[in-house]
């Protein structure tokens, strides 16, 4: 019998003051946009529910989180949530996402939707590049494969971590001591994390991250965003915890969206640790990335 757990992060919702601004930004990033019932739906190349649903609001705010579960676990989660005092209830907006809805003790809406588990491809052997021009084979336009993870600011950091492990079956994969908790869902070999919590004064959206295939696609994605006028970014670099390559672009509301590739995988035998390392191995250390600009919580209490 498998442990009751969400499998992966499959989406999130934002309230934004202007849907066109959101569409222009995320379309430049490589997602595809559609409008449905006055909501902006953004999709990567991955087939499934919209990774981002943007709803018109007075200011930018995190609206909800959405995690994928096995369809056979739906009734089990419903019973489990009731038992821990977070019973499933009606969606905050009709037709927003399928599945179960509930609120955590701090008021964040969480959706559990039956989806197909994202399979991690097996490690492919590198084919020697002989009699080929790699530069001619690189994509002309970067379109991310899928949503990989999201980090959320929160108060009561340790209590929130314990609740998300209890309610969702998430497992802490590593911590930046006192600052960030990285969390993985599902079982077997999977990404080092699909979700994370950042110690802060209040709830808020910090960044979302979409998977691409290589450092070339990260670099080309960075150029793509800069050509579109979104020039405020950080990277390219290599993180410490999770080891993924990254490039961050600041969104129109002061938060971030990331291209990532080459993340560590973990198995069920992985043991979490608390670390006091720098957040990335290279480029040169920039304190504002970790302490101020990167971690500015722009959402009001």
- Give 46-85 pLDDT, tens digit per residue: 888 999 999 999 999 999 999 999 999 999 999 999 999 9
Tell how strand 171-176 and strand 180-184 pair up.
antiparallel
| Residue 221 · residue 30 · CB < 8 Å | yes
Helix ranges (DSSP H) in the chain: 19-29, 74-83, 134-137, 157-168, 215-227, 287-291
**pLDDT of res. 117:** 67
| Residue 261 · residue 212 · CB < 8 Å | yes
CA atoms within 13 A on the CB side of 249: 25
**pLDDT of res. 122:** 42
**pLDDT of res. 33:** 97
**pLDDT of res. 284:** 86
Kindly compute the dihedral angle of the four CA atoms of residues 246, 247, 251, 254, in this order, to the nearest 10 degrees: 80
| Residue 144 · residue 210 · CB < 8 Å | yes
**pLDDT of res. 118:** 64
What are the angstrom distances between the C-alpha of 224 and each of 28, 167, 241?
Answer: 7, 39, 27
Report residues of the chain scoring pLDDT below 70.
1-2, 117-127, 290
Burial 63-89, CB ≥16 within 10 A → b, else e: bbbbbbbbeebbeebeebbeeeebebe
CA distance 294 to 63: 21
Give me the count of residues in the chain.
301
| Residue 49 · residue 77 · CB < 8 Å | no
CA atoms within 13 A on the CB side of 46: 24
**pLDDT of res. 2:** 67
CA distance 50 to 171: 25
Q: Cβ atoms within 10 A of the Cβ of 34, count?
A: 11
């Amino acid at each position: 019998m498998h442990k009751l757990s969400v499998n992966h992060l499959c989406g999130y919702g934002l309230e934004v003051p202007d849907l066109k601004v959101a569409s222009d930004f995320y379309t430049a990033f490589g997602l595809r946009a559609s409008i449905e019932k006055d909501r902006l739906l953004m999709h990567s190349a991955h087939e499934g529910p919209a990774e981002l649903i943007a709803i018109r609001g007075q200011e930018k705010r995190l609206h909800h989180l959405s995690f994928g579960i096995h369809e056979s676990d739906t009734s089990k989660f419903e019973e489990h949530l009731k038992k821990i005092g977070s019973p499933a209830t009606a969606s905050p907006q009709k037709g927003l996402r399928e599945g179960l809805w509930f609120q955590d003790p701090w008021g964040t809406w969480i959706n559990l939707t039956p989806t197909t588990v994202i399979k991690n491809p097996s490690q492919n052997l590198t084919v020697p590049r002989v009699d080929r021009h790699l530069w001619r084979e690189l994509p002309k336009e970067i379109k991310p494969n899928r949503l990989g993870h999201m980090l959320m600011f929160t108060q009561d950091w340790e209590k929130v971590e314990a609740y998300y492990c209890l309610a969702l079956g998430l497992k802490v994969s590593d911590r930046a001591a006192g600052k960030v908790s990285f969390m993985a869902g599902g079982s077997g070999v999977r990404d080092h994390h699909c979700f994370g919590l950042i110690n802060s004064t209040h709830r808020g959206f910090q960044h979302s991250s979409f998977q691409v295939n290589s450092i070339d696609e990260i670099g080309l994605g960075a150029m793509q965003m800069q050509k579109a006028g979104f020039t405020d970014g950080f990277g390219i670099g290599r993180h410490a915890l999770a080891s993924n390559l990254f490039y961050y672009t600041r969104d129109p509301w002061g938060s971030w969206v990331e291209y990532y590739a080459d993340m560590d995988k973990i198995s069920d035998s992985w043991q979490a640790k608390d670390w006091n390392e720098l957040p990335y191995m290279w480029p040169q250390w920039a304190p504002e990335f970790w302490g101020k600009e990167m971690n500015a919580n722009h959402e009001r209490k």
